[in-house]
Chains A and B, each alone.
Chain A
């Protein structure tokens, strides 16, 4: 019976090719536009560290200006980075099973002249050893460094895959040397391809930038006075006339993450940072009310407004467009079904039940939905091709995957059937007598 209905549906659609094309086209356009904006939205709103969401926390302390909150529009928020001195103090705690303090800094990379690579500038991340394990960073060769390297500011470096490709042509370079700002560093690890999107661990220096090109121990930054490569924000009126002045200042520029396994650890750490700030208050710092926050990666992405409001507006508008497409389809379907009312009347007179008529027309609507969905996936693919022209560095991420293709199909069929319910119901109510009379 089902096959028969499908055949009837195809036949009916072929009888009015223009209307059929308009209906399928409308669904396809609506679905295509929605899937395109949804894909972009999903890319923006992704949480690449979701699987560690319950144990990771971004640490923020409110050391800001007593007269003015960090963010005028959201006065409840503490600054999103820490001062150097507070980061160093927090690092003493053994409550977190792992923790990392870090920041960016520029270095010129020179390699063996025999390799023929011109010196080039990289953005390096100066970080402590747990960075690689806490964020599940994948290695191609070697690995990260140990506590001794952190302590002694040993000149070791982990290269990104890109940098290793550039200097060593992708070879295993562990044990080789590169020069950073004129000093020799030993390569101890090379990362595999890693593109956390958004770059959750440092959202204030380009949420959608690629990862840093090299990673070196945090303490090297102080010894070599490496200038900060990311955002620095200061509020206190204090002359800064040396690097030491800067390190001791109330300027915020350090990102800080901890790993806390279990709720009691989270609570213990919260009271640790609170009592640290209370101590500091006695020294005349932290003049604002106590406002220290531990945020999960998800909360962190939310607070930092990684998803631009533009994207939400676009998704909203796309669904309104889909609504218009569906209204359009209902109108056409109604006209088409009622146009075939005499035929339905005849079939009813010959003994077809309302249920049969209903099923038959619903199958027809389903066929339109499927066709529209398939075409819509195609249009979304085209749309994303266009999107790729608009977004740099997003190539791999603006591809249509299986999830989104299935979503497209589900939206198309569901909305098609929903839109088809009313015309189908109307055509079922056809009174056979009314049509037989005029024939």
Chain B
């Protein structure tokens, strides 16, 4: 194929070619890194929460005044909530998974030494319906029984529970591949608890935490005056039950304020908002960048067509077919893009390296720049096709005319 004449023609317009090449290079560098970041965030947002997020409602009640009786209020509330048609299960608990606020502590498999190496875990205090109400999947052992539920009148206490349920992630980290069920674990005061159940997965309070699935359920009624309820509904009934739950709670007891009643997705969206924002911003930048670069290619090719009208006419007059003219521009563009992406690959990895070292983001995976190269090749060929077809339409007769 006629590479040499194409190359020498390109060299006659070095600046224009260089500009578009550089543009392609920068586009590759930005698009590869931006799409890499987008995919990571999308993956993070899409992680399974472990709990039945779509059918969960959370409510918070805050007791006040001398007549407030915490235990009694909770008992009445859960009974009332469990009786509502459409409600599958209810537990009182101390916090909301994935909400950005919670409690965590360190645990060991031996009584703690002066320099322990504890496994850090989120803690949720739930009642005997905890597993059902959250909709977590118990893969080993059993749920809590009513008799196990602890309560200490004193709001400030360092009690531990007799038994705990842990996620697979915690079991793996504490016991490796060995069995966790029936084994004791210790808190930092040396108090022990027996692992009575292992659940498949559950995300804790902080979605950005590096061990998001380190979660432990403890059989305990959390102290007042704040109490929260997880209310699991039948599929599709959640939104209709939110106002009903709110109304029933508000009417049932005048010694407390119902602070809010919300679907769990409220917190999920809130916690992932920064990530969804990044995805939105980057998607806009990537699309605009691809668009501008494509227009740049169209612009340069159109310019080439217009200044070469006479030469194209001459080539046609001496026997070149339309397809030859089109092919000429396609190959020219391919050469241009290839030069651009070669520089772009270097830029992409340099930029990726800089991002990961400056902002401690993960290192760019090679798949992304490579996919970017293919994308830009295709994009270039599409962009150049319209001016190329226009060039092919130039009649041979034009060569015989003087301008």
Q: Are B281 and A324 in contact (CB under 8 A)?
A: no
Does A242 sit at the interface, judged by CB under 8 A? yes
Contact A106 B226 (CB under 8 A): yes
Q: Are A328 and B280 in contact (CB under 8 A)?
A: no
Q: In the complex, which range does the number of interface residues on chain A fall in?
A: 35 or more
Contact A67 B292 (CB under 8 A): no
Expressed in whole angstroms, the Cα–Cα distance for A361 and B310 within the complex equals 28
Cβ of B156 and Cβ of A241 under 8 Å apart? yes
Instruction: Please name the residue on chain B nearest to A26 by beta carbon.
Output: B292
B188 surroundings in chain A (CB, below 8 A): 237
Q: Are B257 and A240 in contact (CB under 8 A)?
A: no
Given A121-B259, A321-B288, A390-B280, verify A332-B299 contact (CB < 8 Å): yes
Contact (Cβ within 8 A) B158 A309:
no
Q: Scan residues 338-391 of chain A and give those whose CB is less than 8 A from a CB of chain B.
A: 339, 383, 386, 390-391
Given contacts A67-B115, A181-B64, A317-B33, 7 further A-B pairs with CB under 8 A are: A26-B295, A121-B60, A121-B259, A182-B64, A240-B156, A328-B295, A331-B16
B contact residues around A245 at 8 Å (CB): 156
Taking CB atoms and an 8 Å cut-off, the chain A residues in 165-206 that contact chain B are 181-182
Interface centre among A181, A331, A390 (most CB of B within 10 A): A331
Interchain CB contact under 8 A, A106 and B26: no
Is A325 positioned at the interface, with any CB of B under 8 Å from its CB?
Answer: yes
Quick one: which of A385-439 are within 8 Å of B by CB?
Answer: 386, 390-392, 422, 426, 438
The DSSP consensus for interface residues of chain A is: helix
B27 near A324 (CB under 8 angstroms)? yes
Mark contacts of B54-78 with chain A using CB atoms, 8 A cut-off: 1 yes-contact digit, 0 otherwise: 0000001010111000000000000
Tell me the nearest residue of chain A to B34, going by C-beta. Answer: A317
Count residues on chain B whose CB falls below 8 Å from chain A CBs. 60
- Which residues in A have their C-beta under 8 angstroms from that of B64? 107-108, 110, 119, 181-182
Q: Is the CB of B293 within 8 A of A310?
A: no
Interface string of B220-260 (1 = CB under 8 A from A): 00000010000000000000000000000010000011010
A227: interface (CB < 8 Å) = yes
Q: Are A317 and B19 within 8 A (Cβ)?
A: no
Q: Is B289 an interface residue (CB 8 A)?
A: yes
Q: Does A266 contact B (CB under 8 A)?
A: no
CB–CB B359/A313 < 8 A: yes
Whether the pair B19, A320 counts as a contact (CB closer than 8 A) is no
Q: Does B355 contact A (CB under 8 A)?
A: yes
Per the 8 Å Cβ criterion, residues 105-124 of A in contact with B are: 106-108, 110, 118-121
Answer yes or no: B278 CB below 8 A from chain A CBs. Answer: yes
The reply on B400 being an interface residue by CB < 8 A is no
Contact B30 A317 (CB under 8 A): yes
Interface residues in chain B, defined as those with a beta carbon under 8 Å from any beta carbon in chain A: 15-16, 19-20, 22-23, 26-27, 29-30, 33-34, 37, 60, 62, 64-66, 112, 115, 154-158, 188-189, 226, 250, 256-257, 259, 270, 273-274, 276-278, 280-282, 284-285, 288-289, 292-293, 295-296, 299-300, 303, 306-307, 355, 358-361, 403
13 contacts between A and B (CB under 8 A): A108-B62, A120-B257, A121-B259, A310-B277, A317-B282, A318-B285, A321-B289, A323-B26, A328-B293, A331-B16, A331-B299, A334-B15, A392-B273
Give, as a whole number of angstroms, the nearest-CB distance from A413 to chain B.
Answer: 19
Known A33-B285, A241-B158; judge A328-B276 contact (CB<8 A).
no
Q: Are A29 and B292 in contact (CB under 8 A)?
A: yes
Known contacts A237-B188, A324-B23, A328-B293; decide if A334 and B16 are in contact (CB<8 Å): yes
User: How far is B19's CA from A202's CA once the two chains are assembled, in angstroms?
Assistant: 49
Which one of B30, B37, B155 contacts A320 once the chains associate, using CB atoms below 8 Å?
B30
* Separation of A240 and B15 alpha carbons in the complex (Å): 74
In the complex, residue of chain B having the shortest beta-carbon distance to the beta carbon of A68: B115
Question: Closest residue to A323 on the B side, CB-wise?
Answer: B26
The residue on A at minimum CB distance from B280 is: A390
Max chain A C-beta neighbours (<10 A), residue from B112, B292, B293, B306: B292
Contact with B along A294-319 (1 / 0, CB 8 A): 00000000000000111011100110
Name which residue of chain A comes closest to B20, CB basis: A331
The residue in chain A whose Cβ has the minimal distance to the Cβ of B351 is A320
